[in-house]
Amino acid sequence: MEKHTLNSHYDVIIVGSGPAGLGAAFKLAENSTLSILLIEKKKISSGGLRNDCKQNYTYPVGFPCEHWSKEEADALLIEVATHLHPKIEPKINLEKYINRAKKIGVEILSIDQAHVGTDKSSALIGDLIEKLKSLHVSIALKTEVKEVSEKRKHITLEDGTNIGFDTLILAPGRADYDWLQAQMDRLGIVYHDNIVDIGVRIETREENYPIVRDYYDPKILFPKKVRTFCTNSGCAHIVREKYKGYYSINGHSLSRENERNNLVNFAMLKTIRLTEPVVSGQQFGKILGEMVMQLSGGSVIMQRVGDFRMGVRSKMETFNNDLYDFEPTLNSAVAGDLSLCMPAKILRDIWKSLKMLDTIIPGVLHPSTIIYYPEIKTYSNKPEFIDKHFCVKEGYYIIGDGAGTSRGITAAWASGIRAAQGILKERT
Ligand SMILES: Cc1cc2nc3c(=O)[nH]c(=O)nc-3n(C[C@H](O)[C@H](O)[C@H](O)COP(=O)(O)OP(=O)(O)OC[C@H]3O[C@@H](n4cnc5c(N)ncnc54)[C@H](O)[C@@H]3O)c2cc1C
């Protein structure tokens, strides 16, 4: 939609077309005649839905327990599924892994999952956007919201256009945490520091991590708040994502129709909750990311497990030698020394968890296995909500990963539904 075709006022404006924004838009459009504008700064809609698009349908994966009970999450997950039409992946042989894990104090969650794949998610998103249009939702892509004005109840776009609203939903995701923070300051919304997840991404041959043949994205919880996250297999590869001042690693895989590369990648993340005197988990994450930029000459670090065990850095000249018999899928990563750039406490807890994982699934710490660093998940500072619909003040809602109300696609969508339920209660 061109900007000149936008109205000067909408009943509801939603900023951000990730799963949280979409969840809110569908709920409102299907249950009211409110005029709705969904604004997205990118040229294609849908934030994180456009990535690998694994959907988790079992509580508590993705649902921060401080905001969600199992009953609340389960009820909304049914509704999320009516839009995303998941094909749940089979899970087999889980008992043997669960029992092995239990013996060493590790928990394996049995989660219902569906996987779309990076190559197929655009079609899913295209369908969702067409449906929203048919429900008379106005959609403005390539349109960035610069700031929110409470006094005049309008948003200002990058080109200076002002658009008024009765109700505003902010769903900017976690990459734009600083933008959200600035808007919360402008609106006088009280917020608190949030957690940050710091960790590594492992890449290995599928034969070294065969659990993925039985369970697509194994959710494994270790002591000291370490967990596996976002496993990719089949046709899997690693990417680096640009944040402000650093790169963070992430993983993708393509749908089953693609030729397999027989590699697996997954993250091992440790959740860090800082207390006084440090005030910002996000800043901490950023500083760690910047340090890796320094040490890698502007990229991310990778090290073979064999080198790491020997206490020597990996080198580009020998990275693919001898036993190190598969090439990294992220070839812009720089061979280096993990222990030089990772805080000791984080490295210790993650390495211990990896050794536990190797006890449950022997082989994952094969010398050829690659450890990439850093994988950093920041969240915005958590707003103080005044009700369970993620309302922060009358007429203002903040939802999705950026607000700490979710940590994944399905939960983000559910947070959008919940905000919409609050608005519908108020407005209809
Ligand atoms: C590479 C990658 C792979 C992932 N894989 C999975 C997975 O397989 N399964 C899973 O559950 N989760 C996955 N995630 C996490 C998942 O993407 C997020 O949990 C989810 O997308 C959060 O939804 P959201 O709506 O809160 O934010 P987002 O999806 O980030 O959407 C926010 C949107 O708001 C837009 N925006 C921000 N600021 C503005 C502004 N000022 N004006 C206009 N628009 C704005 C952004 O461009 C963005 O499109 C992955 C994330 C990444 C990065």
pLDDT in tens, 153-184: 999 999 999 999 999 999 999 878 889 989 99
Q: Evaluate: CB of 216 within 6 angstroms of ligand 1.
A: no
Closest residue by CA, ligand 1 atom 3: 51
Closest residue by CA, ligand 1 atom 21: 48
Ligand 1 centroid to 174 CA: how many Å? 7
Ligand 1 centroid to 402 CA: how many Å? 9
* Tokens representing residue 427 in the block: 């407005």
Q: Which atom of ligand 1 is nearest to the CA of 42?
A: 47
Q: Evaluate: CB of 178 within 6 angstroms of ligand 1.
A: no
Residues ≥6 apart with Cβ < 8 Å to 397: 24, 167, 168, 169, 170, 389, 390, 391, 419, 422, 423
Q: Evaluate: CB of 117 within 6 angstroms of ligand 1.
A: no
Does the pLDDT at position 1 exceed 60? no
Q: How confident is the model at residue 255 (pLDDT cuts 50, 70, 90)?
A: confident
Q: Evaluate: CB of 47 within 6 angstroms of ligand 1.
A: yes
Closest residue by CA, ligand 1 atom 53: 48
Q: Evaluate: CB of 285 within 6 angstroms of ligand 1.
A: no
Which DSSP category does 88 fall into? B
Residues 130, 140: contact at Cβ < 8 Å? no
- 196: β partners: 272, 378
Q: Evaluate: CB of 40 within 6 angstroms of ligand 1.
A: yes
pLDDT for position 208: 97
Q: Evaluate: CB of 408 within 6 angstroms of ligand 1.
A: yes
Q: Which atom of ligand 1 is nearest to the CA of 251?
A: 1
Residues 283, 291: contact at Cβ < 8 Å? no
pLDDT in tens, 113-163: 998 887 888 889 999 999 999 999 999 999 999 999 988 899 999 999 999
pTM for this prediction: 0.87
Distance CA 202, CA 302 (A): 10
Q: Which residue has the tokens 């008992």?
A: 95
Closest residue by CA, ligand 1 atom 39: 172
Q: Which domains does the chain have, with CATH numbers?
A: 3-88+114-192+381-427 (3.50.50.60), 196-378 (no CATH)
